[in-house]
Structure 1
Amino acid sequence: MTDIAARCIREQPRFKGIFQNKGTFERRVRLASPTMHSDEKTFINQAFDEGFTGRNIARLEKEAAEYIGVKHAVAFNSGTAAMHMAVKLAAERLYGSAAAVPISGGLGTVGALQGKRVFCSDFASSTMADSIVSEGGEPVFVDVSDEDWSMDPEVLEIAFQRYPDVKLVMMNHAYGFPGQIMKIREICRDHGALLIEDASESLGAKVHGKQTGSFGDYGILSFGSDKIITGSVGGMFLTDDDYSSKKARSRASHSRAAAPWRQYEELGEECRMSDIVAGLILGQFQHLDEHIAKKRMIYERYLEKLDGDTMYMNPVGEGTEPNYWMSCMTCESNILFQETRSEREYTYTNQHGTASPMEIYDALEAFNVESCPVYKPMSLQPVFRNYDQITLDGSKREYAEFDQEGFWVRCDVAKDNFDRGLCLPSDIKMTGEEQDRVVEIVRSCFD
């Protein structure tokens, strides 16, 4: 946003009082940023002193496994790498190959999921879909529930009715608010499918007292720079399966065999976590409960001051304890506000009594506050839009055959969330006074 555009917004009558009385934020109010403590230095210095022996990595893996409640945790250099490994290992269990499919001339680039469909959440980052496609698979996007913004079990059943041959399901817990993972797991078992649980945003969140990341055949954690605890980078592969743990650890280290020389008997890659990053995360781990408590306070403050007739906060599912990583709001029905989006641009019309997500986004930016739209569904992304999507109204491909008739509007919760949703500042360093000013700006958008 240019300075001129920001000034024009601040000088609108509805914001003028806020600007004249308090001005803009001198320090940018962030969406989510790292919060460091002194413990990180202790573990990092230990790694320097000992010469990167891997002690931090081993301790982190042990603590993560114990905390989540699984037998094994394997540290990776990113959550994306851990997710990709989970997909490869699932392919091996299901179809007999994890590295690549033999083609003429030896091992080629044909992926382990070649020609296989995989169900994954539509309302998520691209990590799951990227991992599927990079292994030659075909993602089928499953719509989410408006009760928790994660994969809808009823829609998953519909998906299995259309594609009964699918044997792999991948779901996430959107923004740290757990989904109906127990129902999803039961459906997977009924259909003989493996489940990869993406808990990259939900570390510390629980479902009926049990940690997310422990329900799937494989679980994934992320320690990216905006996560609830961070190493700036880093991820974790979780499982109770001894064989998968051993294979993940080996393949993440170039699959080097136990020989005096460098012996390679299958394909591998170098994607293990460093001892320095592990030290950062270990220091952060000591403060996880503290971070969750602060995130919860932020969410509850928004809930008290914003949730109502025109704005709604992201829902908490029954029997769940979120980690409240990201507080999100949705505006009232987009029938009432006027906003248009192309692939990269947007326009909106100011209307008294209502506001669009991007209108609020611009207003916050004008006051030096960071926010962002909620996930754009994978089924709407240019790179993935040719793949099928399932909602309560069935297959997108089936609907397209009747769309010319225009006799019904297709249910699509993920798209509705995107049309109406915005992630609000959820940084645990944000003060109560700063959050109150954020709330004041948001509420003024509706004047």
Structure 2
Amino acid sequence: MNKRLFLSAPHMSGNELKYIEKVFESNYIAPLGEYVNKFEESIVTYTGTQNALAVTSGTAAIHLALRVLGIGEEDEVLASTFTFIGSINAIIYQNAIPVFLDSDKSTWNICPNLLEDYLITCDKKPKALIITHLYGMSSDIQKISDICKEYGVYLIEDAAESLGATLNGKHTGTFGDFGVYSFNGNKILTTSGGGMLVSDNKEWIEKAKFYSTQAKEPFIHYEHEEYGYNYRMSNVLAAIGVAQMEVIEDRIAKKREIFSWYKEFLGGIEECEFMPELENSRGNRWLTALTFNKTSYEKIMKLLDKANVESRPLWKPMHLQPLFNSSKSFLNGTSEELFKKGLCLASSTTMQKDDVKMICDIIKENLEK
């Protein structure tokens, strides 16, 4: 049997161990050090944001953003329903109330028209919107940003999956009040675990840094007027991140090449529809995702697993999760339809064209006629 093909396996650049050795030589293992600063600087340079804060996870970054913006008990926060729960858990941490918005078919991300309709008709104005750039593909973020500004709603971009994705040349994560990136083990860039909070507002990032380091006041002893968190990234993980950032464009190019191979082998088949890419955008194609019009995705997933290939259903919408049975939702049916039909295919950057062809052959042989 072939070696297992994972959905999105870590792919080291070659310099990670060298930089980790330098960290050990310095003995600045944790919590901070030279490579934390370097990693933050690399994100600032690459994305064009003004300020960056390295933290323990993308969820921690979202949590800090909400705290800095003063969002708390009984405040409503709009969010993508078609997303990973990490985007939503941070709302719960602040005792705020999530309100879920559905997707549009042209991006699979939040529908701008639904957003505006909700803001026009809602009885209580939400404090913020957390929008997810799904599977590394940009949402219609400029339009969404304009709507948020018009109605006085803070915008937090969950760009956990979309580092390197752009719309009109501008990076996802840099349109809103805050942007968030994730470096979890399966992301396009990984530090094994970690995240980054970015913003053009330096004062906000400084406040987030304060909260992320246990809210310690500037005294030699430990003085606390507010509560905080242990959310800062270690120097060891940041060293991995610095090395990974050196090859980010190579990784994006390979992800997009893998997508092009899938499209070459399956693109002419009416039964298969790939996640669309918004005009004037460049997605990082973190995962190649598609829907089947007739064939059960579960059937394909089982057959791929038998061939030692990992795949995964699209995100189950948050409004369908038992945890959020009583939450408000503004829906059009798109996310439910995508969940019923969709699958994420193996997209690791170590894969070759023959790997993709093998996967596509299995899919083609088992499509419903």
Short-chain TM bin: over 0.9
Q: Which residue of 125, 129, 137 corresponds with 2:96?
A: 137
Greater relative contact order (Cα < 8 A, sep 6+): 2
Q: Which SS does the other structure have where 1:139 is aligned?
A: strand
Partner of 1:419: 340
Equivalenced residue count is 363
Within 5 A, what are the aligned runs for 1:56-205?
56-90=35-69, 92=70, 112-163=71-122, 164-205=124-165
Is 1:302 matched up with 2:242?
A: no
Deviation string, structure 1 residues 107-144 (Cα, Å, up to 9, x no partner): xxxxx521111110111101222111221111110111
Higher Rg of the two aligned structures: 1
Instruction: Supply the distance in 2 between the matched residues of 1:365 and 1:382 (Cα, whole angstroms).
Output: 28
Divergent runs of 4+, >6 A: none
Q: Which residue of 199, 209, 213 corresponds with 1:239?
A: 199
| Percent identity for Structure 1 against Structure 2 | 32
Instruction: Supply the distance in 2 between the matched residues of 1:385 and 1:195 (Cα, whole angstroms).
Output: 25
Instruction: Supply the distance in 2 between the matched residues of 1:59 and 1:134 (Cα, whole angstroms).
Output: 30
TM-score (norm 1): 0.80
Is 1:315 matched up with 2:272?
A: no
Tell me by how many angstroms 1:59 deviates.
0.7
Deviation string, structure 1 residues 190-229 (Cα, Å, up to 9, x no partner): 1011100111100001000011110010000000000001
Instruction: Supply the distance in 2 between the matched residues of 1:260 and 1:133 (Cα, whole angstroms).
Output: 34
Within 5 A, what are the aligned runs for 1:6-405?
25-52=1-28, 54-90=33-69, 92=70, 112-163=71-122, 164-307=124-267, 308-332=269-293, 337=294, 355-391=295-331
CA contact (8 A) 1:158 1:390 kept: no
Q: Which SS does the other structure have where 2:337 is aligned?
A: helix
Tell me by how many angstroms 1:385 deviates.
2.4
Q: Which SS does the other structure have where 1:145 is aligned?
A: coil
Q: Which SS does the other structure have where 1:383 is aligned?
A: helix
Q: What is the CA RMSD across the aligned residues, in angstroms?
A: 1.1
Partner of 1:394: none
Structure 1 residue identity aligned to 2:162: S
Q: Which SS does the other structure have where 1:201 is aligned?
A: coil
Instruction: Supply the distance in 2 between the matched residues of 1:184 and 1:363 (Cα, whole angstroms).
Output: 39
Structure 2 residue identity aligned to 1:159: Y
Deviation string, structure 1 residues 365-418 (Cα, Å, up to 9, x no partner): 111110000000000011012111112xxxxxxxxxxxxxxxxxxx31011100
Instruction: Supply the distance in 1 between the matched residues of 2:99 and 2:121 (Cα, whole angstroms).
Output: 11
Q: Which SS does the other structure have where 2:115 is aligned?
A: helix
Instruction: Supply the distance in 2 between the matched residues of 1:309 and 1:294 (Cα, whole angstroms).
Output: 26
Partner of 1:17: none
TM-score (norm 2): 0.96
List alignment gaps of at least 5 residues for structure 1.
Answer: 1-24, 93-111, 338-354, 392-410
Partner of 1:352: none
Tell me by how many angstroms 1:161 deviates.
2.3
Tell me by how many angstroms 1:162 deviates.
3.0
List alignment gaps of at least 5 residues for structure 2.
Answer: none
CA contact (8 A) 1:378 1:385 kept: no
Partner of 2:358: 437
Instruction: Supply the distance in 1 between the matched residues of 2:202 and 2:306 (Cα, whole angstroms).
Output: 53
